[in-house]
Amino acid sequence: MEYIRKSIYSLPEIRHTLLPLWSAWVLTAIGAVCGVLMFMLPNLSVGGSSALAGGVIVGVCSLLTVLCYWTFGDSRRPYSRNLHAVLEPTYAYYASAQQQAVVAALEAKDERALEAVKRQAKPELALVRYSDKAERVYYSQLTRVDSKRYLPLTDIIVNSLTPDPSPKREGK
């Protein structure tokens, strides 16, 4: 499981999950409101200038925290730049005898053939797939389950279920 997670980040269209943009604005606004309140209510602090400095420090610290998180991201879930969506994993388990059928269906990018392959509850082979909620694209990898470790049998196979937005013209 960890191998596919590391491999999927090597794809150019995948990055770490980002903190939503609205949270940066909320934290900055809270810092600004604290600064204004501390400036307008000098009875709560030693002096107006120190209150303003404290509010500015709170605002700058909150903004820096958000910028660091936004820059380095959260590695728990991959994010597709093309789809503007977080990718979630799903698992399907197969018998070892089904390996050729699963690989053939993955390489042919045939979802119907993959659904026709018989699944089982005991994991010998695990198909790990990352996709968005609308299932417009799949990032799939077939792995062998060995002592609760997932050992990769294939590279990551990308299957886009959305049509190509730019139709090709022939003859011109």
Res 167 pLDDT > 50: no
The total of other beta-carbon atoms located within 10 Å of residue 77's CB is 14
Instruction: Give residue 152's pLDDT.
Output: 86
Instruction: Give residue 132's pLDDT.
Output: 83
Cα–Cα distances in angstroms (integers) from residue 19 to residues 1, 54, 63, 102, 165, in the given order: 24, 26, 13, 36, 29
Instruction: Give residue 41's pLDDT.
Output: 63
What is the tens place of the pLDDT at every residue in 91-125?
Answer: 899 999 999 999 999 999 888 898 999 998 888 89
- Who contacts 39 (Cβ-Cβ below 8 Å, separation ≥6)? 48, 51, 52, 55
Res 170 pLDDT > 50: no
Instruction: Give residue 158's pLDDT.
Output: 86
Instruction: Give residue 6's pLDDT.
Output: 75
Instruction: Give residue 102's pLDDT.
Output: 92
Instruction: Give residue 134's pLDDT.
Output: 81
What is the tens place of the pLDDT at every residue in 57-69?
Answer: 766 767 776 676 6
Instruction: Give residue 49's pLDDT.
Output: 61
Question: Which of 30, 25, 34 shows the shortest CA–CA distance to 54?
Answer: 34
The domains of the chain are located at: 19-72, 85-160
